[in-house]
């Protein structure tokens, strides 16, 4: 066999791996978009029930065809405080089961007669999907076309890898070299390193399947390479956890310890099996007897059995595992006062791996920002009416929080808007820039009112009883307006928005009456020019706050 044939085989293998990776990415992104609402509802059901967590992890990973994306998303949820460590652990367990679906699909694709294999049939989906994408004007159909194209390309890449493996199988030197790798620890290490480089356990498992089918390696060797791929898949999660919170780091460690623990148990089991049988039994022989004449099925089924049994063994030890990682990554005070490092509450950059989930969490973060802004407005009213500044420290912390959220959330939205989103999600994300700006302005107006209060205190002045009563009346209506806007924004409730409009009209009338009553008090000498100036500025700022909240509610008409 000449050098050109070998070089061609190497290039074909690289091309096959590339096509396979692109296909996985294409399937993942389009499946996420199509199943976004289902994924969102699934993650709302994560509770203290460990089996529910496992089921959700398995279904999510099977749906988006990426355990890496699922794990990184889980780290984002933990970092944002949405999932506890114990809940995250069970979802990660399930993700390991869900990722075995790709291996089963690949094994099925390599099954068939010599005349026409399922690989050829499934590869044809690439063309079908491409035509759907090109000729359809419906976005949902286009995404299904992307799924079909990705599915077909999966087998195109697989076919190219298989062809190159057949070439290598004809080389006696290659066969002798691979046959000589009998050390199971070395095989696990090779599988780990290759998966860490490729960053896809699905690709590594698929390569192992093609190598087994073409006779380059034995099923038993393929089994240990596959075990190693489970450990290598942790690299993505470890990288995601490095720059995140302590709980995110703990989640990444749980993923690593779970996979290393499962591999260790099976390595010990394989050793005992060989010793007790006098070398007559190993995992490869067992699965060959269970699925004779189908090495691709043998390896795919081992991968599934391995992950399911690992979950069953590790599930009762979840609390112990959480305790161990909590000790390895201990709590530390982030500053002398013990304040927690400032962060976003519901979103995390790791969630960008799963855009549909990121969009759902973005809405929660914006509602949280609105709540902080409203709290500061009411705090400023308390201060200006009573001239009691006992809430000043909390007010200042809230203001700093609003500034931080404004800056970081805009960055998050910019990155999210670059990702493939459904048309509905894209429309929503495009409106959030305005909403974030509106809420930041609410915080600024509250800060203005707090400054007016400080001016009154410095001048030894204060509002009259009637002025305080009018401010309280204004506050009552803006609180009602806020409640209606949040309901409208949360549930896309246009009825609630209409009620908010009516309240805003009343706020405008209250503002006008406050101006008229101020003139009367000024003429009667009840208040001074200094007091009147602060009072009118307060009324004007309150009206603008109502306008900014209404702007937030109006955005539902754009979704």
* DSSP string for 104-119: HHHHHHT-B-SSSBHH
pLDDT at 415: 93
Tell me the C-alpha distance between 206 and 49, whole Å.
Answer: 33
Q: What are phi and psi of 112, to 5 degrees?
A: 155, 175
Answer yes or no: are the C-beta atoms of 391 and 449 closer than 8 Å. no
pLDDT tens, the chain, 559 aa long: 567 777 888 888 888 888 877 887 777 667 666 665 566 566 666 666 788 888 888 887 776 666 766 777 777 777 666 678 888 889 889 988 988 887 888 787 776 554 446 667 778 888 998 998 888 877 778 888 888 898 888 778 877 877 777 777 666 776 677 667 878 899 999 889 888 877 777 778 888 888 888 888 888 899 999 999 889 888 767 776 665 667 778 888 888 999 999 999 999 999 998 898 888 888 989 999 999 988 889 999 999 999 999 999 988 989 899 999 988 888 664 444 444 467 788 888 877 877 877 888 899 999 999 999 999 999 999 999 999 999 999 999 999 999 999 999 999 999 999 987 878 888 999 999 999 999 999 999 999 999 999 999 998 988 989 999 999 999 999 999 999 999 999 999 999 999 999 999 999 999 999 989 888 888 888 888 888 889 999 999 999 999 999 999 999 998 8
What number of other Cβ atoms are within 10 A of residue 141's Cβ?
Answer: 13
Answer yes or no: are the C-beta atoms of 262 and 313 closer than 8 Å. yes
User: CA quadruple 45, 51, 55, 57: dihedral positive or negative?
Assistant: positive
Strand partners, 117: 112
Q: Which single residue is written with the structure tokens 């046959």?
A: 179
Reading phi first (left if > 0) and then psi (alpha if -120 to 50, else beta), residue 200 is in beta
Reading phi first (left if > 0) and then psi (alpha if -120 to 50, else beta), residue 347 is in beta
Answer yes or no: are the C-beta atoms of 79 and 341 closer than 8 Å. no
pLDDT at 335: 45
Contacts of 191 by beta carbon, 8 Å cutoff, 6+ apart: 204, 208, 224, 225, 226, 227, 228, 229, 231, 232
Answer yes or no: are the C-beta atoms of 296 and 106 closer than 8 Å. yes
* Closest C-alpha among 89, 21, 20, 33 to residue 63: 33
* DSSP class per residue in 502-557: HHHHHHHHHHHHHHHHHHHHHHHTSS-HHHHHHHHHHHHHHHHHHHHHHHHHHGGG
What number of other Cβ atoms are within 10 A of residue 558's Cβ?
Answer: 10
pLDDT at 104: 85
> What six digits make up the tokens of 297?
């099925």
pLDDT at 344: 85
Tell me the C-alpha distance between 558 and 556, whole Å.
Answer: 5
What domains does the chain contain, in order, with CATH numbers?
3-328 (no CATH), 349-558 (1.20.58.220)
CA dist list (Å): 405 to 38, 65, 201, 362, 413: 28, 32, 36, 11, 12
pLDDT at 372: 96
Q: What angle do CA 48, 52, 55 make, to 5 degrees?
A: 150
pLDDT at 209: 87
* Closest C-alpha among 540, 67, 544, 551 to residue 303: 67
Answer yes or no: are the C-beta atoms of 233 and 100 closer than 8 Å. no
pLDDT at 46: 64
Q: Which single residue is written with the structure tokens 């509450």?
A: 345
Reading phi first (left if > 0) and then psi (alpha if -120 to 50, else beta), residue 294 is in beta
pLDDT at 447: 95
Answer yes or no: are the C-beta atoms of 86 and 314 closer than 8 Å. no
Q: What are phi and psi of 117, to 5 degrees?
A: -90, 165
How far is the first Cα of the chain from the last one, in angstroms, to the nearest whole number?
62
Contacts of 12 by beta carbon, 8 Å cutoff, 6+ apart: 160, 161, 163, 164, 167
Tell me the C-alpha distance between 268 and 305, whole Å.
Answer: 16
Tell me the C-alpha distance between 450 and 392, whole Å.
Answer: 9
Give the SS3 label for residue 338.
Answer: coil
């Amino acid at each position: 066999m000449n050098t050109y044939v070998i070089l061609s085989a190497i290039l074909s293998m690289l091309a096959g791996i590339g096509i396979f990776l692109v296909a996985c990415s294409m399937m993942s992104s389009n499946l996420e978009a199509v199943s976004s609402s289902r994924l969102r509802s699934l993650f709302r059901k994560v509770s203290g029930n460990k089996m529910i967590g496992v089921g959700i992890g398995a279904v999510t990973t099977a749906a988006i065809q990426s355990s890496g994306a699922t794990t990184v998303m889980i780290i984002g949820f933990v970092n944002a405080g949405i999932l506890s460590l114990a809940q995250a652990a069970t979802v990660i367990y399930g993700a390991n089961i869900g990722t075995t679906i790709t291996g089963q699909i690949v094994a099925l694709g390599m099954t068939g007669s010599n005349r026409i294999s399922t690989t050829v049939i499934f590869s044809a989906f690439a063309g079908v999907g491409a035509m759907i994408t090109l000729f359809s004007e419906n976005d949902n159909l286009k995404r299904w076309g992307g799924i079909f194209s990705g599915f077909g390309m999966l087998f195109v890449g697989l076919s190219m890898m298989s062809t190159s493996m057949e070439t290598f199988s004809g080389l006696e030197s290659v066969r002798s070299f691979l046959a000589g790798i009998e050390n199971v620890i070395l095989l696990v290490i090779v599988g780990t390193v290759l998966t860490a480089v490729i960053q896809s356990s699905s690709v590594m498992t698929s390569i192992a399947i093609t190598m087994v089918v073409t006779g380059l390696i034995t099923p038993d060797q393929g089994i240990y390479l596959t075990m190693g791929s489970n450990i290598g898949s942790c690299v993505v999660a470890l990288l995601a956890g490095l720059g995140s919170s302590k709980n995110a780091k703990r989640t990444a460690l749980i993923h690593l310890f779970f996979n290393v623990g499962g591999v260790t148990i099976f390595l010990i089991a394989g050793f005992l099996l060989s010793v007790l049988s006098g070398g007559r039994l190993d995992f490869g022989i067992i699965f060959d007897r269970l699925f004779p004449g189908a090495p691709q099925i043998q390896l795919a089924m081992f991968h599934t059995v391995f992950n399911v049994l690992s979950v069953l063994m590790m599930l009762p030890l979840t609390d112990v595992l959480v305790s161990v990682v909590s000790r390895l990554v201990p709590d530390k005070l982030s500053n002398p006062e013990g304040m927690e490092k400032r962060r976003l509450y519901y979103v995390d950059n790791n969630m960008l791996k799963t855009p549909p989930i990121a969009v759902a969490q973005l809405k929660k973060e914006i509602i949280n920002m609105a709540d902080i802004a409203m709290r500061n407005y009411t705090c400023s009213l308390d201060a200006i009416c009573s001239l009691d500044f006992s809430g000043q420290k909390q007010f200042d912390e809230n203001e700093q929080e609003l500034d931080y959220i404004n800056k970081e959330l805009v960055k998050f939205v910019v990155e999210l808007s670059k990702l493939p989103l459904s048309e509905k999600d894209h429309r929503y994300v495009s409106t959030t820039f305005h909403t974030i700006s509106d809420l930041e302005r609410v915080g600024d107006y509250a800060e203005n009112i707090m400054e007016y209060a400080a001016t009154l205190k410095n001048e030894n002045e204060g509002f009259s009883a009637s002025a305080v009563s009018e401010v309280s009346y204004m506050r009552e209506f803006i609180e009602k307006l806020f409640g209606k806007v949040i309901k409208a924004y949360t549930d896309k409730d246009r009825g609630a928005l209409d009620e908010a409009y009516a309240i805003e009209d009343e706020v405008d009338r209250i503002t006008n009456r406050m101006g008229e009553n101020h003139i009367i008090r000024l003429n009667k000498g009840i208040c001074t020019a200094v007091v009147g100036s602060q009072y009118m500025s307060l009324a004007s700022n309150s009206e603008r706050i109502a306008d900014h909240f209404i702007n937030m509610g109006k955005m539902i008409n754009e979704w």
